[in-house]
């Protein structure tokens, strides 16, 4: 008969922080699995010790086999379900095969030392993962808890936030919380950027009371003039009215993967990153002269996403398959771009093309239909008010065709059940 795998969270004080019953479970285990630091707390445990370093998938498969006739204990830091191994084990082996005994998490301890509630905190982790996208995920939040590692340490976090102009935050850093070497203190971001920290730490960011409310940008569809842009005439930028409609056609979720091809000033990529803050956005632009504007807009609007200097379709092969593709410029490769993007599009994905001429409209529609996409077109003809003496007149903007291609999910055949 198979047995459950016990996943036990331990704190910085090791065995001293565990109940007698839990200690006995660890000592009796046939197999004891954990990181080197966790295993070192239990030198007298009689069971076979296995160190978790990498290659989790193979280890988990073996645990699934071993549990048939062995008592297995997996050791983890703090709460194993908070950015920990227990979630992975549950997904792979099934929650019914686990017995999880959590310890206090480092975030709980940090807020306890701070003397502040944390039910309203945004919880983020850059432990073992890149910081890319952190700016848009925490922008405007009043309270953020951040798990770090020896690469994305508190000083690196401070440099990152200052780069994106997020100086309205103060920080609290707790190191080795719950252990004999525990330390904690408050920092400004400038101070934290100069600091040296122990590898086991947690960062709490708090937005200062009275911080300029203008640092928080709300909604989407920002004015054209707010973006850095190259200006031969009226600016190489997707106009606000067209941008807003195109964004609605992309049908983004918070976790969408987006390609912005022909990014220009980056206005669409910026807006996509703010909407898909837990997803991934990639801006592809062939003109080197526009890259500086994209980077400047990333900083101004606090959005962090990769910018690829290439003429698409070059540069697309390494990107993850998209949920949404916006094509603002094709460099004469529209048909090939649509064909390639359609072949990579994820289920229920969309491609949106902005066309200023009827020739581009024709080519775009034809390419989408040949790629098997459900296609629709909206002609946008908009005008903006402009004062004249004590009155108001309207200036018309150039008409734009917005072509939308959808990778349809076919309905079940009604005759299939007959």
Q: What is the pLDDT of residue 216?
A: 63
Length of the chain: 418
- β 98-101/5-10 pair status: parallel
Domains of the chain are: 5-103 (3.40.1010.10), 107-215 (3.30.950.10), 224-406 (3.40.50.150)
From the number of C-beta atoms within 10 Å of its C-beta (0-12, 13-18, 19+), residue 251 rates as: middle
3-class DSSP state of 156: helix
3-class DSSP state of 6: strand
Q: How confident is the model at residue 417 (pLDDT cuts 50, 70, 90)?
A: very low
Of 4-8, 27-31, 48-52, 353-357, the least confident: 48-52
Instruction: Render pLDDT for 377-389 as a digit per residue (tens, 0 to 9).
Output: 999 999 999 999 8
Instruction: Render pLDDT for 267-317 as a digit per residue (tens, 0 to 9).
Output: 999 999 999 999 999 999 999 989 999 999 999 999 999 999 999 999 999
From the number of C-beta atoms within 10 Å of its C-beta (0-12, 13-18, 19+), residue 409 rates as: exposed
Instruction: Render pLDDT for 153-203 as a digit per residue (tens, 0 to 9).
Output: 999 999 999 999 999 999 999 999 999 999 999 999 999 999 999 988 999
3-class DSSP state of 406: strand
Q: Are 194 and 155 a contacting pair, CB within 8 Å? A: yes
Q: Are 339 and 367 a contacting pair, CB within 8 Å? A: yes
Average model confidence (pLDDT) for the chain?
91
């Amino acid at each position: 008969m198979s047995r459950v795998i016990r996943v036990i969270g331990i704190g910085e004080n090791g065995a001293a922080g565990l109940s007698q019953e839990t200690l006995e479970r660890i000592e009796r285990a046939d197999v004891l699995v954990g990181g080197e630091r966790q295993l070192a707390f239990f030198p007298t445990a009689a069971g076979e010790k296995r160190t978790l370093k990498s290659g989790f998938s193979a280890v988990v498969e073996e645990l699934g086999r071993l549990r048939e006739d062995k008592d297995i204990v997996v050791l983890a830091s703090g709460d194993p379900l908070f950015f920990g191994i227990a979630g992975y084990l549950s997904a792979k082996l099934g929650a019914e095969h686990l017995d999880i005994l959590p310890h206090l998490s480092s975030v709980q301890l940090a807020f306890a030392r701070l003397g502040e509630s944390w039910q309203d905190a945004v919880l983020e982790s850059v432990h073992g993962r890149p910081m890319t996208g952190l700016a848009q995920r925490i922008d405007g939040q009043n309270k953020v808890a951040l798990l770090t590692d020896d690469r994305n340490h508190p000083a690196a976090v401070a440099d990152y936030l200052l780069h994106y102009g997020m100086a309205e935050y103060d920080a609290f850093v707790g190191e080795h919380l719950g252990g004999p070497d525990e330390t904690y203190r408050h920092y400004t971001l400038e101070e934290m950027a100069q600091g040296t920290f122990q590898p086991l730490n947690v960062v709490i960011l708090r937005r200062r009371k009275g911080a300029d409310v203008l640092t928080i940008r709300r909604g989407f569809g920002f004015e054209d003039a707010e973006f850095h842009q190259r200006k031969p005439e009226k600016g190489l930028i997707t106009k606000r009215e067209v941008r807003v409609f195109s964004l609605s056609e992309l049908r983004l979720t918070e976790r969408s993967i987006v390609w912005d091809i022909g990014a220009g000033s980056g206005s669409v990529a910026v807006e996509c990153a703010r909407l898909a803050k837990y997803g991934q956005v990639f801006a592809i632009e062939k003109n080197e002269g526009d890259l500086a504007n994209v980077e400047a807009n990333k900083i101004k609007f606090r959005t962090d996403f990769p910018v690829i200097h290439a003429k698409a379709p070059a540069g697309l092969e390494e990107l993850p398959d998209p949920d949404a593709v916006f094509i603002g410029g094709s460099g004469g490769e529209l048909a090939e771009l649509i064909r390639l993007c359609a072949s990579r599009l994820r289920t229920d994905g969309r491609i949106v093309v902005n066309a200023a001429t009827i020739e581009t409209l024709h080519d775009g529609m034809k390419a989408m239909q040949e790629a098997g996409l459900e296609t629709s077109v909206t002609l946008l003809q908009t005008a903006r008010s402009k004062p004249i003496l004590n009155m108001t007149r309207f200036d018309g903007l150039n008409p734009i065709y917005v072509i939308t291609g959808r990778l349809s999910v076919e309905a079940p055949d009604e005759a299939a059940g007959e």
